[in-house]
Amino acid sequence: MHPYSADTLYNLGNSYARAGKPGLAILNYKRAALLAPNDPDINANLDYVRATANVTSEPQTRFTRVAQLVNPTQAAWLGVLGIALLGAALLTSKVTSRYRGLRATGILVGIGLASLTACNAALLWPRMREAVILINQTPARVSPVPMGDTAFQLSEAETVTIAAEHEDFMLIRTRTGRTGWVARANLAAVVP
C-alpha cells in the first residue's frame, strides 16, 4: 500500500486510537478523510475519537457536503473534463450552427463540472493550514520563545489553524478565535 493511501492512514488512525493517542489518531483520520471524504468508516471513527477526547467536531454545511462528493483527485479530473467539454462546445458553435441543444448541454455540463472542482478547491484551501495538537495541555504562549508566558492551554486532539511560523514555533488560531504560539513539536499539520 502507498504510505498516503486512505486505507493506510485509516488503519494507522485505528492503531493510535487503540493505543490511547487521540491526537495522532485524529491526525491520521483527517488525512484519510482528505483522500476519501465520503468514507463512512473514517468519518465514524473520527467522530468517535473526537467524542472520547472531548473535542468538538466541525459542523457539516450543505456546501461542504456538495463539495466533498468527490475527492480532490477526482475533482481535478472532473474539472479538466468540464473545461474540455466547455471548450469543445464553444468551438463547435464557431464551426457550425447545428446541434444547438447538444452544444448547450455541453456548455452547462462543462460549467457544472468546473464549478464542482472550484467548490472542492475552495473547501480544501483552508484545510491546507490545519494542524492537530499532539500533546495534552500544550501551552499556547504569548511570544515565540520557550520561556514565554502561557496565554492558554490546548487539549490533545484539538484542531487549530496555523497562521504563521517563527523558528521552532507556530502561531495558531483556535476555532474560538484565540491565538498563541505553540512549539512545532507539539502539533502536526494535516497536510504534510
Question: 3-state SS string over 38-78?
Answer: CCHHHHHHHHHHHHHCCCCCCCCCHHHHHHCCCCHHHHHHH
Query: Residue 12 is part of a domain; what is its CATH number?
Result: 1.25.40.10
Strands of the sheet containing 150-154, edge to edge, are 150-154, 138-141, 179-183, 169-173, 159-166, 130-133, 187-189
Which of 91, 126, 161 is the endpoint of a domain? 126
Query: Residue 163 is part of a domain; what is its CATH number?
Result: 2.30.30.40
d(CA 97, CA 91): 11
Q: Is residue 1 part of a domain?
A: no
Looking at the structure, tell me whether residues 142 and 107 fall in a common domain: no
- Segment 120-140, tens digit of pLDDT: 787 777 778 999 999 999 999
Cell numbers standing for residue 147: 520561556
**How many structural domains does the chain have?**
3
Mean pLDDT in the chain? 88
pLDDT at 2 over 60: no
d(CA 46, CA 50): 6
pLDDT over 70 percentage in the chain: 94
Q: Is residue 180 part of a domain?
A: yes
Q: Is residue 103 part of a domain?
A: yes
pLDDT at residue number 22: 96
Q: Is residue 17 part of a domain?
A: yes
DSSP state, 149? P
d(CA 72, CA 120): 7
d(CA 133, CA 75): 29
Tell me, what amino acid is at 116? L
pLDDT at residue number 119: 78
Looking at the structure, tell me whether residues 175 and 145 fall in a common domain: yes
Whole-model pTM above 0.95? no
Q: Bridge partners of 170?
A: 165, 182
pLDDT at 20 over 80: yes
CA angle 37, 2, 55 (to 5 degrees): 40
Place of cell 504560539: 181
Q: Is residue 54 part of a domain?
A: yes
3 state SS of 131: strand
Which of 126, 142, 177 is the endpoint of a domain? 126
- Segment 85-114, tens digit of pLDDT: 888 888 887 877 788 888 888 889 989 888
pLDDT at residue number 73: 80
Q: Bridge partners of 169?
A: 166, 183
Domain that holds residue 18: 6-58
pLDDT at residue number 78: 87
pLDDT at 1 over 70: no
